[in-house]
Amino acid sequence: MKFGNMITKQWKISNKVFQNDRKILSVWLSLRKCSKSTNYFSGLTETLIELCQNRQLLSGDKITQDMLVNGYFNYGHLGMELKRNLVTNWWDSMVLSREQVFGVQSPHQLKGNQNSDNKSMKLVDVATLQVPLDKQDANGEGIFSLKDRLKEYIVLRPNLLQGAFCEYTKSLNLVNRKLPFGLAEVGVCYQPIAAPEYSTVFNAVRTAEVELASLVWFSSPRTSGSWLDYWVRQRLLWWRKFAKSPSSFTASDSQNNYGIKGTTLYFSFPWGKEPIETLVNLGDKDLLREHHGNKSSLQGRDGRKTVIPYVLSMSGNLDRGVIAFLFDSLQLTEKVDSKSRTNQKKVLKLHPFLAPYKVALDTGKGPTVELRQVCEGLLRELLDKRITVWPGYLETMHLSMEQLAIKYDEMGVIFTIVVSETTLENGLIYLRNRDTTVKEMVHISEVRDFLTKYIQES
């Protein structure tokens, strides 16, 4: 019996050791998998940043993930076109396609007593501070004077609500006081950003310039909930419309720092989800405060009743939207070149509405002067149809067809057109599609109508 008990105890100990080893192995494999995943996503971010810098989408000596999230970067030539296309499509969707929405434009600066808080960015003239600082004495009179001077500041707008509130009463008369209606604006705002991992001098709050697209919707309190649901669906569909992977854009309930509940739209970046647009029901308090409680001037018609409207705010971060679509469109594949070397092929499959340039126009073999004349004529035809064209034929260094494909795929150009001596002989041009990589010969007289139809039907 003693021998049997000893064997049983040893078996139990061995089993426990095995279970512990199994747990350790499982944790190790999980950490290894997580490390590989982290390295992949980190590499993806670095690849996109390098591509964007090389192809004039973003500019700057060093761009980091933190800079992408918070808007600390500059746009290159192509990046400006991409952002302009995003703004244009937002405006077409939210203003030009709706009879109840009107555009407004408001100043960047607010008065010191208008909708400002401790987090808003305030500007004070340095010269006004210098006098009380120079006059400091033992009685502290300079300090009191300094405090008075600090009250003389201007506030840089943190959002675009102010412009809509100011224009509300004028717009109400424009629609014969009938609700609902909306006021839209696109502009630069100045917002505090999350504190960095390292401390700053005096714990100063960093402020970022962001371009916001805002729709402020005024509706009756009775229908405000239904309208908020409607706009959440519309805005999510709009973001997904231009995405290669629509599921990367999601919506979830949220609550801001003031306890106001709403919905936030997110994009799944390699490092995690980041908000790109917020939609909230602000009620009527902010509107009443802006107009000093003058209810009679704020009342609109809801059927036969007159009511003070509830304010629905939709505010999208266009700069973060640009970065989101760059990540969404990036496609990486392994490709073996003619010398049996494996290279990473990078393609920006931007939606035709967003692509900075729809067409790249280049020249092949043949007399340079005559080919450039053909390119210039085709360029004018395409520009007349508002099809943006990259004038590659102006570059002096000649590239092979393979090199042109690599270059223009990284720029996000949809079609590459090459004019050659064949064009001079029979009017045929070389046409390549970025998304299908199909190459075909098309007569030059058919190109303009083909491209116009393709882009319109996208």
Q: What is the DSSP string of 324-338?
A: HHHHHHEEEEEEE-T
Give Cα 60 to chain centroid, integer Å: 18
| Mean pLDDT, rounded, for 440-444 | 96
Distance between CA atoms of residues 325 and 412, nearest Å: 12
Q: Could you give the angle at which helices 2-54 and 318-329 cross, rounded to 10 degrees? A: 110
| Mean pLDDT, rounded, for 129-145 | 58
Report in angstroms the alpha-carbon separations of 152 from 112, 129, 146, 148, 157.
Answer: 7, 10, 10, 7, 16
pLDDT of residue 258: 78
| Mean pLDDT, rounded, for 130-139 | 58
Share of the chain above pLDDT 90, in %: 63
Q: What is the pLDDT of residues 240-281, one digit of tens each?
A: 999 999 999 999 999 887 788 999 999 999 999 999 999 999
DSSP state, residue 178: B
Q: Is the pLDDT of residue 408 over 80?
A: yes
Distance between CA atoms of residues 11 and 217, nearest Å: 72
**Could you tell me if 102 and 183 are in contact, meaning their C-beta atoms sit under 8 angstroms apart?**
yes
Distance between CA atoms of residues 417 and 429, nearest Å: 7
Distance between CA atoms of residues 441 and 233, nearest Å: 43
- How many CB atoms lie under 10 A from the CB of residue 151? 9
Report in angstroms the alpha-carbon separations of 441 from 80, 218, 419, 420, 433.
Answer: 32, 54, 10, 11, 12
Q: How confident is the model at residue 4 (pLDDT cuts 50, 70, 90)?
A: low
| Mean pLDDT, rounded, for 127-131 | 66
pLDDT of residue 60: 81
Q: Is the pLDDT of residue 448 over 70?
A: yes
Report in angstroms the alpha-carbon separations of 120 from 65, 271, 282, 370, 442.
Answer: 24, 28, 19, 59, 57
Closest CA to 350 of 332, 371, 369, 325: 325
Q: How confident is the model at residue 376 (pLDDT cuts 50, 70, 90)?
A: very high
Q: Model's pTM, two decimal places?
A: 0.83
Closest CA to 447 of 373, 385, 363: 385
Q: Is the pLDDT of residue 135 over 70?
A: no
pLDDT of residue 202: 45
Distance between CA atoms of residues 336 and 3, nearest Å: 67
